[in-house]
Amino acid sequence: MDRPDIETYIEGVLKRDRRRIAKAITLIESTLPAHQEMSREILDRLIPYTGKAIRLGVTGLPGAGKSTFIENFGTLLTEKGYRVAVLTVDPSSPKTGGSILADKTRMEKLATNDRAFIRPSPSGGTLGGVARKTRETLFLCEAAGFDVVIVETVGVGQSEVTVASMVDFFLVLMIAGAGDELQGIKKGVLELADAIAVNKADGDNVERTLMARRQYEVAFHLLNPASRSWTPPVLACSALTGDGLGKIWDVVCDHRDIMTASGEFEKKRREQALDWMWFLVREGLADWFFGREAIVRLVPEMVRAIETGTMTPTSAASRMLAFLKNNPS
Ligand code: GDP
């Protein structure tokens, strides 16, 4: 059986060996403690080789055209000579337990492109768990020399905030709807966007798309810009015909140049790294806390007390946290 050691993984990733890259990602995704230990060491050793890619987040509601966009945009980038990795953050739907993105065959052209690498979201798990693995996979792809890493997420729930926190540029795909364009779009998403692209600007949809574009522009003007040097543009494109995709890439590059010159690029990456550290500390604390035997025993008792109204949530929480004070080490 093929059981490579850490050196083999590191060498394989740096040599851009696709099989080893895929296996290293499988290690990252594994829940076995021994695998987690190994992947931590691999990532630590690869850190000096990371940081050079453009990290691009893409979101949009189901049907907005994300997979069509990534397929053709990714292909365009490979034609420009770039190597492109595509990752997804797709936590299981809390309602159905199934994933939202992975059900259909997606990006067939890109999947067979030598310069591209597509890795679907690790299956199952919470958003935090999926995001953690995707973030580590992003670093691994950078070490493997990918020039652009696209992280796709579906535009529902909290996953957009999570993806925005791991990328340099966050692109929101929209489509022109009937009537009020701002219906169904969360203000929070606009605040995360570094650009909006109104997709499906083709055929007899062009006019409607341009109207929608103007409405989004107005909406943007009502927001306080997140950056002093960047005003998010609203673009129109057709993922299907490829119209406007080149312009979107130009915007991504302009953004990188402008933000680098103002120092905001590095600042954002530093802040993201710090946020990530605190996230891991909080997650580790929670794992540790809920793994204590006394807490495991206390939890059902406290839940019952709340459900039967014999205790207030505040006192139940205090009682559980008192465990920490009494068992500091
Ligand atoms: P996703 O759910 O966001 O990944 O959306 P898909 O990429 O699967 O696209 C949903 C549907 O819209 C598919 O039938 C696509 O062929 C279609 N579509 C995507 N982009 C465009 C576009 O630019 N123009 C037109 N006319 N249709 C598009």
Counting atoms of ligand 1 from 1, which one is nearest the CA of 173?
3
Looking at the 3D structure of the chain, how many domains does it have?
A: 3
Residue ID of nearest Cα to ligand 1 atom 24: 200
Q: Are residues 37 and 75 both part of a single domain?
A: no
Ligand 1 near 62 CB (within 6 A)? yes
Residue ID of nearest Cα to ligand 1 atom 15: 65
Q: 68 CA distance to ligand 1 centroid (A)?
A: 6
Q: Are residues 68 and 43 both part of a single domain?
A: no
For the whole model, what pTM was predicted? 0.88
Distance, in Å, from the CA atom of 32 to the CA atom of 125, rounded to the nearest integer, reads: 14
Q: Read off the pLDDT band of 63 (50, 70, 90).
A: confident
Q: Are residues 75 and 208 both part of a single domain?
A: yes
Q: Are residues 13 and 115 both part of a single domain?
A: no
Q: Are residues 150 and 234 both part of a single domain?
A: yes
What was the pLDDT predicted at 103?
47
* Each residue's pLDDT tens digit, 200-225: 999 999 999 999 899 888 877 777 77
CATH code of 35's domain: 1.20.5.170
Q: Are residues 171 and 194 both part of a single domain?
A: yes
Say which residue the tokens 């505040």 belong to: 314
Average pLDDT over residues 163-181: 82
In a domain, 270, yes or no: no
Q: 122 CA distance to ligand 1 centroid (A)?
A: 24
Q: Are residues 21 and 151 both part of a single domain?
A: no
Percent of the chain with pLDDT over 70: 89
What was the pLDDT predicted at 184?
54
Q: Are residues 295 and 159 both part of a single domain?
A: no
Average pLDDT over residues 51-71: 93
In a domain, 273, yes or no: no
Ligand 1 near 65 CB (within 6 A)? yes
Q: 201 CA distance to ligand 1 centroid (A)?
A: 11
In a domain, 129, yes or no: yes
Average pLDDT over residues 275-284: 88
What was the pLDDT predicted at 59?
92
* Each residue's pLDDT tens digit, 301-313: 999 999 999 999 9
In a domain, 258, yes or no: yes
Q: 131 CA distance to ligand 1 centroid (A)?
A: 25
What is the domain range of residue 13? 1-47
Q: 72 CA distance to ligand 1 centroid (A)?
A: 11
Ligand 1 near 119 CB (within 6 A)? no
Residues in the chain: 329
Ligand 1 near 209 CB (within 6 A)? no
Q: Are residues 34 and 125 both part of a single domain?
A: no
Q: Are residues 225 and 322 both part of a single domain?
A: no
Q: Ligand 1 pocket check: which of 59, 68, 73 to mutate, most ligand atoms within 8 Å of Cβ?
A: 68
